[in-house]
Structure 1
Amino acid sequence: MLDFIYYPVSFILWCWHEVFGFIFGANNAIAWILAIMFLTFTVRGIMFKPFVNQVRSMKKMQEFAPELKKIQKKYANDKQRQAAEMQKLQREHGVNPLGSCLPMLLQVPVFIGLNWVLRAFSIQPAGGGPKTENYFFNQQGVESYVNAKLFGVNIGDAIHHTAMLGGINGGWNWHVAPVAVPLMILAAVLTHLTARHSAARQDPTAATPQTAMMQKLTMYIFPLGVLVFGAFFPIGLLVYWLSNNGWTLMQQRLVYNRIDKEEAVKKAEAKEKRDSLAPKPGAKPKPGQKPVQPSTTEATASSADGKSPSNGQTTSKAGSPHRFAQQPARAKGGSAQQRKKQGSGGKSSGQKGSSQKRR
């Protein structure tokens, strides 16, 4: 029913097994483990661009997260209107909410396909006899996988086979645990580190209860799930899980660093552009150019020195300018009555002096 998934997965696995089987030998477990790992790397390499788009989409959503919170608060009692407004806001910013889920959704068919292909190596045909093929693998390829052992354990064995996950010969196989348990622990640790690294990139102020819950799930519940359900997966599938989480952690660091550098370059270019448009000290602004407003620190420093930052007028402690220009005018000219009094006083003194001379 899902052959459209099984055949592509088995084809990629067959190609890589041919490569590493030529180097290490077709029946060597190392060839099969490397083939599974490079199957993972091939699929993740195909999904690299969607992953970058996912990171950019999440970055944009963080930028307008405060607007989303306002919409949620404004339409808290109208969920339909709230969803419509949120979708409208996402369209305005060019964000597709499904884009962030695409890489994870694409990994699910690969996981299902690889799980079935690896288990199908051990399923005997209905008519009995040896198994002659398994999708792209012929009888020789099937026998190579069945006989490949890692530390004495077949890579198709699991700690517990369950029919729910496609397993056969149900029951506990504790001899598989020494190989499976370390792989399960490593896969769980990488799952936690990957989620932790992603959560560290989130803006705490833009976090919502939903995102906080999702972070706890990915950081603690998912790694715990690897430890629990890993006992039901064959060794080959645990290798896929381990290599997939290792690739994800490395890819996150690479992409995040690249985006950080791009943002740093954009900020530097924007600052350089602002500086180039601002008028130089003492130069007149160009027509249509807005004057550069003094910063808060400059205004504070100017007021502390007793000068206004706008016209350089001396101010008092209360901030009001002293009217020194008017005080000298009053002292020099005086009022009209003072001038008249001075004039009359001078005349009387002159008359008094002349009368004394005649005497």
Structure 2
Amino acid sequence: MLDFIYYPVSFILWCWHKVFGFVLGDNNAISWILAIMFLTFTVRGIMFKPFVKQVRSMKKMQEFAPELKKIQKKYANDRQRQAAEMQKLQREHGVNPLGSCLPMLLQIPVFIGLNWVLRAFSIPPKDGGPKTNNYFFDQAGVDSYVNAKLFGVNIGDAIHHTSMLGGVDSGWNWHVAPVAIPLMILASVLTHLTARHSTARQDPSAATPQTAMMQKLTMYIFPLGVLVFGAFFPIGLLVYWLSNNGWTLMQQRLVYNKIDKEEEKKKAEAKEKRDALAPKPGAKPKPGQKPVQQRTAGESDQVAAQNTSSNGKSDTKAGSPHRFAQQPARPQNGASKQRKKPGSGGKSSGQKGSGQKRR
């Protein structure tokens, strides 16, 4: 029924097993473990861009989280109106809540597919004969997997096989515990560290009751679940869980550091822009001072002549609109009135000089 999941997972596993089997040998358990790990890395590499979008979406949601709290408080008694207003706010900020869950949702089919493919190696056919194939694997591939052992334990074995997860021969297999338990502990620790690293990025003041609950689930309940239910997973599936969480932790560090550098760069550019637009020291305009209006040469000469004829000099008082205008050249040949000198008999020096010249 889920062959559309099983065949792609089986194909990727088959490709990587061929690569490492060529180097280390087809029946080597390390070849199978590396094939499972690189199956995980291939799937996570495909989901890298959705993961980056998830991080950016979560970052935007933190920025307008106070507005969400206001809406929740305002419409606490009207759940339908509250949901509508929250969706409206998310659309305005260009955030899709489902986008942040996409990478996690895409991992579920891979987990289910790999669990079934690994268990199917050991499930005998209905006719009771030898198993001749397992999706993309032929009989040689099936025999290689069944005969591959890690520290004497087949990588398809689990501490407890249960038919609920597709296992056969239900019962406890304590000889698997020395290999499975260390993998369970490492997977649980990496799950906790990954959740803690993600939670440390979030603003506590913007947390809501729902987000606080999710943080507790991811930091404590999920790691505990890996530690408990890992007893029902085969060795190969524990390797997948371990490599998946290791990849997630490394990816989070790289993506978060990149986003932090981008935000610091934007803040530095915004600061430089503000500094460039701000007035320089010593050039700050006085309160109430109007900007100087540019005048043509003819207008400047006309205004200067009027001021000179009325006041005897250009108006240079503070606050004059012509204070910073260029001073026109002083007119010659008696164009402006000269002040009379005391004792000159009412004649200016200019008049005296002209009379002497006529004599």
Above 0.5 in TM-score? Answer: yes
Q: Secondary structure at the match of 1:134?
A: coil
Cα distance in 2 between the residues matched to 1:176 and 1:101:
34
Q: Secondary structure at the match of 1:125?
A: coil
Match of 1:16 in 2: 16
Give the letter for the 2:135 counterpart: Y
Cα distance in 1 between the residues matched to 2:281 and 2:154:
78
Residue 146 (str. 1) matches residue 146 (str. 2): yes
Give the letter for the 2:274 counterpart: R
Match of 2:204 in 1: 204
1:97-152, Cα deviation, whole Å (9 max, x unpaired): 00000000000000000000000000000111110000000000000000000000
With normalisation by structure 1, the TM-score equals: 0.79
Tell me by how many angstroms 1:284 deviates.
Answer: 5.6
Tell me by how many angstroms 1:190 deviates.
Answer: 0.1
Cα distance in 1 between the residues matched to 2:55 and 2:207:
16
1:242-284, Cα deviation, whole Å (9 max, x unpaired): 0000000000000000000000000000000000011112226
Match of 1:189 in 2: 189
Match of 2:296 in 1: none
Identity %: 91
Cα distance in 2 between the residues matched to 1:10 and 1:251:
25
Residue 173 (str. 1) matches residue 173 (str. 2): yes
Q: Which runs of 5+ in 1 are unaligned?
A: 286-290, 292-359
Match of 2:278 in 1: 278
User: What are the within-5 Å matches in structure 2 for residues 269-348 of structure 1?
Assistant: 269-283=269-283
User: What are the within-5 Å matches in structure 2 for residues 1-359 of structure 1?
Assistant: 1-283=1-283
Give the letter for the 2:161 counterpart: H
Q: Which runs of 5+ in 2 are unaligned?
A: 286-290, 292-359
Cα distance in 2 between the residues matched to 1:177 and 1:222:
21
1:31-57, Cα deviation, whole Å (9 max, x unpaired): 000000000000000000000000000
Tell me by how many angstroms 1:209 deviates.
Answer: 1.0
1:268-309, Cα deviation, whole Å (9 max, x unpaired): 000000000111122266xxxxx9xxxxxxxxxxxxxxxxxx
Cα distance in 2 between the residues matched to 1:97 and 1:71:
17
Match of 1:320 in 2: none
Cα distance in 1 between the residues matched to 2:273 and 2:27:
63
Number of residue-to-residue matches in the alignment: 286
Moved more, 276-285 or 91-100: 276-285
Give me the CA root mean square deviation. Answer: 1.0
Cα distance in 2 between the residues matched to 1:163 and 1:96:
38
With normalisation by structure 2, the TM-score equals: 0.79
Cα distance in 2 between the residues matched to 1:198 and 1:119:
33
Cα distance in 2 between the residues matched to 1:171 and 1:187:
23
Q: Secondary structure at the match of 1:133?
A: coil
Cα distance in 2 between the residues matched to 1:215 and 1:27:
42
Q: Secondary structure at the match of 1:219?
A: helix
Give the letter for the 2:221 counterpart: I
Cα distance in 2 between the residues matched to 1:282 and 1:223:
63
Tell me by how many angstroms 1:20 deviates.
Answer: 0.2
Cα distance in 1 between the residues matched to 2:224 and 2:51:
25
Match of 2:308 in 1: none
Match of 2:346 in 1: none
Cα distance in 2 between the residues matched to 1:128 and 1:212:
52
Cα distance in 2 between the residues matched to 1:207 and 1:5:
37
Cα distance in 2 between the residues matched to 1:16 and 1:279:
64
Q: Secondary structure at the match of 1:13?
A: helix
